[in-house]
Amino acid sequence: MLAFAPTVEEMYPEPTDGIVYDLGPVAEVMEGPRRPGHFNGVAIVVRRLFDLAQPTRAYFGEKDYQQIAVIKSLLRLIKYPIELVPCPIVRADDGLALSSRNARLSAEAREIAPVIYDTLTQAVEMSEYEDVEAVRLWVLDTLSSFHEVCPQPNGLQFEPEYFDVVDDTTLQPIEQWRDAKGSVGCIAVWLDGVRLIDMVRFR
């Protein structure tokens, strides 16, 4: 196995302040308005890595599902013959999506964090008989009220930032399950001062 670790000077030999990519609608939903400029920054870094490494394939985890769509948009813009390979989410035994951010969770927060994936799993089951908006609101309400149902001694609680059900290709919100051939649910939720993201595929 080889590790590619360029220096700052190699990565950015010239200023990047004026570089702006039109990444399209996939960058304008969910994370887009909540983290202005974030995806343009991602595009700058990823393109530079592509320029330096000249890969034929690039592997990205599905936990950052919107990022995959953004990089696909970038590849169309710059017309690089690179195959983007989505990789399934790697989870801990209790279901929590593995992330470097998990290390920032307190022991108490880490204990309840798997409730996020448990809730998403139940949402998939609900989608068989409930409409999109009902499922979306149920996820938000379930996480928001978790501390009331299962009180924590230290007052920990989930603070959902968003949960959106979107077309798995365009990332635009859907109103009915039949509106898309495939759909995913993407979530961002705060717990103990740590922002966690996850996703689940509906159909």
Q: Does the pLDDT of residue 9 top 90, yes or no?
A: no
Q: Are residues 108 and 184 in the same domain?
A: yes
Total tally of structural domains belonging to the chain = 2
In a domain, 27, yes or no: yes
The b/e string for 45-64 (b: 16+ C-beta within 10 A; e otherwise) is ebbbebeeeeeeebebbbbb
CATH number at residue 69: 3.40.50.620
Q: Which residue has the higher pLDDT, 80 or 15?
A: 80
Res 177: pLDDT: 96
Which residue, 87, 112, 144, sits at the end of a domain?
87
User: For the chain, what is the largest distance between any 2 Cα atoms, rounded to a whole number of angstroms?
Assistant: 55
Q: Are residues 118 and 178 in the same domain?
A: yes
Res 2: pLDDT: 80
Give the span between the Cα atoms of 137 and 97, in whole angstroms. 22
Residue range 38-43: mean pLDDT, rounded:
97
Q: What is the domain range of residue 66?
A: 8-87
In a domain, 167, yes or no: yes
Give the span between the Cα atoms of 95 and 198, in whole angstroms. 11
Res 151: pLDDT: 65
Give the span between the Cα atoms of 115 and 2, in whole angstroms. 36
Pairing, β 183-191 against β 194-201: antiparallel
Q: Are residues 77 and 151 in the same domain?
A: no
pLDDT (tens digit, 9 = 90+) per residue, 122-163? 999 999 999 999 999 999 999 999 876 566 656 789 999 999
Residue range 73-92: mean pLDDT, rounded:
96
Q: Which residue has the higher pLDDT, 152 or 1?
A: 1
Q: What share of the chain is helix, strand, coil (3-state, %, to 5)?
A: 45, 20, 35
Res 4: pLDDT: 80
The pTM score is: 0.91
In a domain, 55, yes or no: yes
In a domain, 92, yes or no: no
| Token couple for 38 | 């974030």
Identify how many contiguous H helices and E strands the chain contains and give both numbers: 8, 5
**Cβ–Cβ contacts within 10 Å for residue 12, how many?**
13
Q: Does the pLDDT of residue 48 top 70, yes or no?
A: yes
Identity of residue 54:
Q
In a domain, 3, yes or no: no
Q: Are residues 77 and 113 in the same domain?
A: no
CATH number at residue 170: 3.30.1300.10
Q: Are residues 52 and 109 in the same domain?
A: no
pLDDT (tens digit, 9 = 90+) per residue, 84-118? 999 999 999 999 999 999 999 999 999 999 999 99
13: CB partners within 8 A, 6+ apart: none
Q: Are residues 28 and 82 in the same domain?
A: yes
Residue range 22-48: mean pLDDT, rounded:
96
